[in-house]
Amino acid sequence: MISTNDFRTGLTVEVDGEVFVVVDFQHVKPGKGSACVRSKLKNLRTGAVIERTFRAGEKIPRAHLEKREMQCLYREGDSFVFMDNETYDQISLSETQLGDKVMYLKENMNISLLTHDGNLIGIELPHAVELEVVATDPGIRGDTATGGTKPATLETGLVIQVPLFVEVGDVIKVDTRTGEYLERA
């Protein structure tokens, strides 16, 4: 059990039998009444974000997630095959199970598989991945003073905004949490 006073971003808790991660929280002390904790919780199974208010000091169960290091081997139709780095067991996960994280997956990439009580919750990607630009408009010379951006399609099909100097064939780093361009690799 964990107290709501000990909430922090990234903490996993169980609420109403579901596993949630704390996205945001705020301690509120109104002029009248007792203190409370307003929180935004993201359901790890569905991805839905809910807002929930708890009494200050209320105890709720903490969810313990198991992480297994896996390697993405290859794509097979609409699913991906992963191998456990310790036991070499292989599992296949569909695109619907992976959600929007599919756009960051490449062959031979290491990820963490998250499970709770033996049930698959999802995967955890590295904070940044290197992807190759396969399509983008050419940058116009002299158009860099404004610090503008242009859309670029990456090797996984992801479309992001990149600076004007990025060209087809460049390998760039992308933040997997926000989907933003970080730098050229």
| Count of CB atoms situated within 10 Å of the CB of 157 | 9
Rounded mean pLDDT of the chain? 86
Q: For residue 11, what pLDDT is reported?
A: 84
pLDDT, tens digit (0-9, with 9 covering 90-100), for 98-134: 878 888 998 899 999 888 887 787 788 888 999 999 9
pLDDT tops 70 at residue 143: no
Of all residues in the chain, the percent with pLDDT exceeding 90 is 25
Between 47 and 71, residue with greater pLDDT:
71
- Which domains, and CATH codes, for the chain? 2-60 (2.30.30.30), 66-124 (2.40.50.140), 128-184 (2.40.50.140)
144 pLDDT tier (thresholds 50, 70, 90): low
For residue 4, CA distances in Å to 36, 63, 177 come to: 9, 14, 25
pLDDT, tens digit (0-9, with 9 covering 90-100), for 7-43: 888 788 888 888 888 888 999 888 888 889 999 998 8
Which residue reads 């926000």 in tokens? 178
Of all residues in the chain, the percent with pLDDT exceeding 70 is 96
Which of 10-14, 88-92, 95-99, 154-158 is least confident? Answer: 95-99
d(CA 133, CA 58): 49
pLDDT tops 70 at residue 166: yes
Q: For residue 184, what pLDDT is reported?
A: 87
141 pLDDT tier (thresholds 50, 70, 90): low
Q: For residue 174, what pLDDT is reported?
A: 93
